[in-house]
Amino acid sequence: MSDTVIRVENLSKRYVIGHQRQERYVALRDVIANGAKSLKQRIFHPMQKFEDPEHEDFWALKDVSFEIKQGDRVGIIGRNGAGKSTLLKILSRITEPTSGRVSIKGRVASLLEVGTGFHPELTGRENIFLNGAILGMGRAEIKKKFDEIVDFAEVEKFLDTPVKHYSSGMYVRLAFAVAAHLEPEILIVDEVLAVGDAQFQKKCLGKMEDVSQNEGRTVLFVSHNMPTVTSLCHRCILLDNGKIRKTGNTSEVIMEYYSTGQGSPAFIEFTKRKVGDEYVQLVSGQVENIMGKITPEIFINEDFKISIKYKVLQLSNYRLIPNFHFYTADGVCAFISSVEESNILPVGEYISECNLPKNFLNEGAYFVGLAISSFESGVKVHFFEPNVISFNIKDSLEGTVARQHGYTSTIPGVVRPQLHWNLVRVI
């Protein structure tokens, strides 16, 4: 029996966009003239297609196909307008597709917008039972989960208040608690969690991970917060202009997502905005492999380097300290590295390089912040641009010893150095 719970085949969704005409008003004679012209075209040219200047077809999704297995936690990412929300609405049966097919096995609970599925005039208590009924659950089943839902949502004090009086944060807390606890086989969550506070977001992520790992439920999660996506999802789908650009391992898909911006994620140049102060200004930063090529893809068994280019604008007593801040994709600071000796530099343009050895960082996506500071008369930060360049460490073609012996999961840890071991026979 197949463990596929969502199968999407050649899915497309078209919307018709209206354009406002330039005239300030339309007279009756214009309506009659346009109608006569349209009738003439239909009579004498029935097979010819005529464009409507006031309407335009917009394809929010175009020939999208993928499969999701039971228990998967899948992130759906992409820039604004990529088609993420349209896809979720189709999977949630809110919107009908223009063409294509969607097969879903199991009950679906969706949290797409604040208040989705809630009746504003009903109380929190009544909405819990309403949502359970929509999911096909009996009253006894809902009662069994009721206390857990209320405890998770932290809205016990307002349980008998109509939800139209709830704040957006209370709305989201109760909506997520209902969606996660009423045992749907598939849980779909859009960016709506961003409304909640940081502590509740962490609580929600833990719950989604728990229902996936321990209860075998499937989670689809849309977010623009890449560290959050990385911490929750082991697979990702990248949408770009209504089409799938890449699917696969989360860190690799996120790297592809960043590469859809201006230029490579391994290189950034500050030409349109000035970064720095009156003493020093940031010009660019980049990642280079052992061959000197700018690239976001680095193999674990090769050396590489990060470099920063900057301008010293005026001579001063500041001993400048270029430094790099390395973060994992889930927001953990891996380490910070700075130059060994600070220098007082004359006016000019400089490059400072940091060489990273092979077999040091583990597989995954990393983000680098560029900074220059000094310590004369206290700490002075001349500039700090967090997470502006990124790179992806990939396993070597030969594979590690662990992989050669059949270990196929991601090896945990931020670093994965090759250390020297000794074998000593004691007997």
Tell me: the pLDDT tens digits for 270-328? 988 899 999 999 999 999 999 999 998 899 999 999 999 999 999 999 999 999 999 88
Burial 3-23 (b: 16+ CB within 10 A, else e): eebbebeebbbeeeeeeeeee
At 117 the three-state DSSP class reads coil
CA distance 93 to 355: 52
C-alpha 291/C-alpha 134 separation (Å) is: 59
Query: Domains of the chain (ranges plus CATH)?
Result: 58-259 (3.40.50.300), 267-394 (2.70.50.60)
pLDDT tens per residue across all 427 residues of the chain: 468 899 999 999 998 876 555 555 566 666 677 777 666 666 666 655 555 556 677 888 999 999 999 989 999 998 888 899 899 989 988 889 999 999 999 888 887 766 666 788 899 899 888 878 877 778 888 888 898 888 888 888 888 999 888 887 888 888 888 878 877 889 888 876 666 666 777 788 888 888 888 888 899 998 887 777 877 888 999 999 899 999 988 878 887 887 665 456 889 999 888 999 999 999 999 999 999 999 988 999 999 999 999 999 999 999 999 999 998 876 788 999 999 889 899 999 999 999 999 999 998 888 899 999 998 878 899 999 988 888 888 887 555 555 555 555 567 888 989 899 999 999 8
Give the model confidence (pLDDT) of 92-120 as tens digits: 888 899 999 999 998 888 877 666 667 88
DSSP assignments along 370-424, one per residue: EEEEE-TTS-EEEEEEEEEEEEEEE--TT--HHHHTT--SPPPSSB---------
- Distance between CA atoms of 221 and 229, rounded to whole angstroms? 8
Cα distance between residue 406 and residue 416, in whole Å = 18
pTM for the model stands at 0.66
- Residues paired with 222 in a beta bridge: 76
Separation in Å, CA 34 to CA 22, 48, 57, 170: 16, 17, 22, 53
Q: Which residues are 73's β-sheet partners?
A: 219
Q: What does the CA dihedral 199, 205, 208, 214 come to, rounded to 10 degrees?
A: -90
Q: Per 3-state DSSP, what percentage of the chain is helix, strand, and coil (rounded to 5)? A: 25, 35, 40
**Spatial CA neighbour of 296 closest among 230, 229, 389, 414:** 389
Tokens 């719970």 correspond to: 5
Question: Please, are residues 364 and 329 in contact by the beta-carbon 8 Å criterion?
Answer: yes
Q: Residues near 330 by Cβ (< 8 Å), separated by ≥ 6?
A: 227, 228, 230, 231
Phi, psi of 261 (to 5 degrees): -80, -160
